[in-house]
Structure 1
Amino acid sequence: MEALDLLFSITSTFFTSLALSLLLVFRTLFTRRPSSTIHSNAVSLYQGTVWHERRRPVHHSFLYSVRYALFDLDHAHAPPDHLSADEARQVAQTTGPVFLLTIPPSVGYEQNPLSLYYCYDMDGSARLLKKCIAEVTNTPWGERVVFIFYPNSDVVAKPLHVSPFMDMLGNWNIKANDPTDSLSVFISVQHPELGDYFVASLKAKRLSSVSDHAMFFWLMPHKVALWIYWHALKLWWKNVHFIQHPGYTNPTYREEAMIRDKKLQCNQALAWDRGNCLQADGHHLGNLADRKRWFKWRDAKRPWC
């Protein structure tokens, strides 16, 4: 059934994107006004690279160029299927501006393995990046998890099956800077057996001016999908063990991820307050209000629009 869904996705996306690409080219050639639907004063455009490196059990790495949009959610509508500014503030418990970093849909297709919300508090006239919200989507299975992390550096128990070549064990070490003229996001996977065996990064620079946003992002989501599936095929060719989605064999994998994360938070809290977290059994973890995690799992919108 999954193979049929994937085949339908590829076929539908091909014909939809082909038709919309021809329409986009026609509008670009024969109209003076750009075909952008993004208000230029409320969005910043970034161009950069994504790098992945798997160190064990075999070495595999790749680098590709990407284009992102950073939406000021208080002054622009985000692409469909994302949080609004007020929803993000409620989740992060912040009071200042909210920005969303994502790849907008292009010619009928959307592909966002990771989108980030930057949530600020205000200190007088200055804004301070307080928390980030990660939105991770595993496209083949149509799932999404949303969670809070602290941008300077944080460790989160892996809450989602994002690759058929990685199990659910291990933690995500994640950090992100305050996006200005440049932005960066770093993620490493800490595994109990393989150690720090996977690293990924996004580095990008803000562009000063782009006249046509639709052409700027043309086929960008398709390129991301192509790289993901192509390198999954290469890992399979290298005989990396294929791992079935845990939902088929372990219906409580999400609850177990939350328990692992609570233990992580407890261990971090013990480093600065040994009066808290007297137990680390996943049920009675003491007072962690200052570092309260929030997870939400849900079905993700299918990549074709």
Structure 2
Amino acid sequence: MTTPRAAPPSAPPPVLPAVPALYETEIAHARVAPVRHALRHRTYMWLVDLDDPPVPPRPLRPLARFDPADHFDGDAPTLRAGLDACLAAHGVRRADGRVLMLAHARVFGHVFNPLTLYWCHDRAGRPVCVVAEVHNTYGGRHTYLLHPDAQGRAETAKDFYVSPFLDVAGTYRMRLPLPGDRLDLTVQLRDTDGTRPLTATVRGTRRPARTGTLLAAALRHPWSTAAVSLGIRRHGIRLWLKGLRVRPRTAPAPAPQEGTS
């Protein structure tokens, strides 16, 4: 079992952002091979303390629920327990400090998180690791354990089937700085031949997690998580019409994950 990596003792701990917070976001995907295709989607995401996820007033609870069943294996009693089991599976002791999670909440009984991020810290507030949890539209879930550098950059081999038009091959290069007033994430796929077929970005602006802010976001982006699922399928049809064909799934069969019950 490995020991979590932390910043040197002399390094001052970072100032962690206040949570919960909402981020008005624009998600963009740009494909350059084998065909060019770009998409942009506006939505909103939450940054929350994993040990203290927000519970809106009762009339607004259908707009934001954080359910442990929607993450990791789906069978942990709490989000923190799910993360601890994930870290143990990666051979890492639990992060004993704050963990900040960036994710979509369940909205009107539906949730789909293509990417959930967990920034893990030790008791002194120093970064330990980042867990990137990926869901695909086939019901699969997968986690990547990352140790970003001071600029939030990390690299990991792709070993999970996501897009039906891309093989399970290549390397992800990521830039995942902890969100502050701005959210600025990048995930780029680099193929084994050196090409960069896909780049995804998430940009956003922080908003206070107040009742009025949540209502405004929900009105601008009705049933936001369902819109994410539908948008993925719509663009998949467009890519198919452009001539792309589905690649066989070489990864193990996934487990159910969307959590729509």
Does TM, scored on the shorter chain, surpass 0.5? yes
Aligned equivalent of 1:243:
247
Q: Deviations over 1:90-143 (max 9, x none)?
A: 6153321011111011112111111111101244xxx2333111110112x211
Which is bigger in relative contact order (C-alpha 8 A, separation at least 6)? 2
| CA spacing shift, 1:128–1:182, aligned 2, 3 Å | farther
Gaps of at least 5 residues in structure 1 are: 1-40, 247-252, 255-296
Q: Percent identity?
A: 24
Distance in 2 (CA, whole Å) between partners of 1:181 and 1:128 is 20
User: Following superposition of structure 1 onto structure 2, how do residues 22-61 of structure 1 map, counting pairs within 5 Å?
Assistant: 43-61=20-38
Instruction: Say whether residues 1:79 and 2:67 are aligned partners.
Output: yes
Distance in 2 (CA, whole Å) between partners of 1:214 and 1:129 is 33
Distance in 1 (CA, whole Å) between partners of 2:215 and 2:195 is 42
Aligned residue identity for 2:36 = H
Q: Quick check: 2:172–2:187 contact (8 Å CA) kept in 1?
A: yes
Q: Which has the larger radius of gyration?
A: 1
Distance in 2 (CA, whole Å) between partners of 1:79 and 1:235 is 33
TM-score by length of 2: 0.74
Q: Quick check: 1:137–1:300 contact (8 Å CA) kept in 2?
A: no
User: How many residues in Structure 1 have an aligned counterpart in Structure 2?
Assistant: 213
Distance in 2 (CA, whole Å) between partners of 1:49 and 1:210 is 21
Aligned residue identity for 1:88 = L
Gaps of at least 5 residues in structure 2 are: 1-17, 55-65, 73-78
Q: Quick check: 2:112–2:258 contact (8 Å CA) kept in 1?
A: no
Aligned equivalent of 1:111:
112
Distance in 1 (CA, whole Å) between partners of 2:27 and 2:131 is 19
- Which residue, 81, 88, 112 being the options, matches 2:83? 88
Instruction: Say whether residues 1:101 and 2:89 are aligned partners.
Output: no
Higher helix share goes to which structure? 1
Aligned equivalent of 1:300:
256
User: Following superposition of structure 1 onto structure 2, how do residues 1-305 of structure 1 map, counting pairs within 5 Å?
Assistant: 43-76=20-53, 78-81=66-69, 82=71, 84-88=79-83, 91=87, 93=93, 94-123=95-124, 127-139=125-137, 141-151=138-148, 152-193=152-193, 195-211=195-211, 213=214, 216-217=217-218, 218-246=222-250, 253=251, 299-305=255-261
Aligned residue identity for 1:130 = V
Aligned equivalent of 2:63:
none
TM-score by length of 1: 0.64
